[in-house]
A = this chain, B = another copy of it.
Amino acid sequence: MTSVHNFRELCHQHDLAATHQRQVIYETVLSLPGHPSPEMIYEKVRRKIPSISLATVYKNIQTFLDSGMLREVSLHHGAMRVDPNHEPHHHLVCMHCKSITDIEESDVTPVRLRSKLPRGFQVRRISVDVLGVCGACSSIAKP
């Protein structure tokens, strides 16, 4: 089974038209190491489809996120969030309204690393995000 068939099938499962642009965007995301930004994806996709528009990349990323084919790494991008709390603590994040609430470090089991990290990586701190939907948002409609 070729990757073309895989992609068409995947789109069909998610009720999406299998366009050439979509396929190249999706395969490009898979091919990029780490976690690319829309710009990075656009730059690489452009080499295969020079006429593609940045707006198309954005629209399709959004489509893939909505359909669950991709996931967003950082929920609170788009606006800086500032934290005056100097005590070690973790966060409760509402995926819907983007609210961030502190929880104490002792509210979660202690987190420790079990394996070696890439050489040279120096750990400063470990931050736990408990992602979900807050009471206020879940009592209203769910988009």
Interface residues in chain A, defined as those with a beta carbon under 8 Å from any beta carbon in chain B: 29-30, 34-39, 41, 61, 64-65, 69-86, 91-92, 94-95, 99-101, 103-104, 106-115, 117-136, 138-139
Cα of A138 to Cα of B123 in the assembled complex, Å:
11
Describe A's contact surface by its main secondary structure. mixed
Query: Nearest Cβ distance between residue A61 and chain B, in whole angstroms?
Result: 6
User: Given known contacts A113-B108, A126-B129, is B71 in contact with A82 (CB within 8 Å)?
Assistant: yes
Give the Cβ gap from A15 to chain B, nearest Cβ, in Å: 18
| Residues in B neighbouring A82, C-beta threshold 8 A | 29, 35-38, 41, 61, 64-65, 70-73
B70 touches A83 (CB 8 A): yes
Compute how far the CA of A107 lies from the CA of B114 in the bound complex, rounded to whole angstroms. 5
A73 touches B83 (CB 8 A): yes
Given A35-B83, A83-B70, A83-B71, also A114-B106 (CB < 8 A): yes
